[in-house]
Structure 1
Amino acid sequence: MRHRLKDVAERAGVSVKTVSNVVNGYLHVKPDTRARVEEAIAELNYRPNLSARNLRKGRTGVIALAVPELDIPYFAELARHVVVAAAEHGWTVLIDQTGGGPEQERVAASGIADHMIDGLIFSPLALTADDLAGLDGMPMVLLGERVDHGPADHVVIDNVAAAREITGHLAGLGRRRIAAIGSQRTPEGASARLRLEGYAAGLADAGIAYDDRLVAPAPAWHRADGAAAMRQLIDSGARPDAVFCFNDTLALGALRALHEAGLRVPEDVAVAGFDDIEDGRFSIPTLSTIAPDKERIARLAVELLAGRLNGDRAAPPRELQVPYQLTPRESTRPATA
Structure 2
Amino acid sequence: MSEATPMLEVRGLRTQFGTGAGAVRAVNGVDLAINPGEVLGIVGESGCGKTVLALSILRLIDAPGRIVAGQVLFEGTDVLAMRPRALTALRGRDIAMIFQQPKASLDPLMRIGSQIAEPLRLRGGRSRAEAWREAVELLGAVGIPNPEEKARAYPHEISGGQAQRVMIAIALALRPRLLIADEPTTALDVTVQAQILELLRERCRVLGTALVLVTHDIGVVAQMADRVAVMYAGRVVENGKVADILGQPAHPYTRGLLRSAPVMGAVQARLREIPGGIPDLTRPLSGCAFAPRCEARQQAGAARCDSQAPPSFLPRAGWQARCWLQAGAPQAQPAPEAWA
TM beyond 0.5 = no
Structure number with the bigger relative contact order (C-alpha 8 A, sep ≥ 6) is: 2
Q: Which has the higher helix share?
A: 1
Q: Which has the larger radius of gyration?
A: 1
Q: Which has the higher strand share?
A: 2
TM-score with structure 2 length normalisation?
A: 0.30
TM-score with structure 1 length normalisation?
A: 0.30
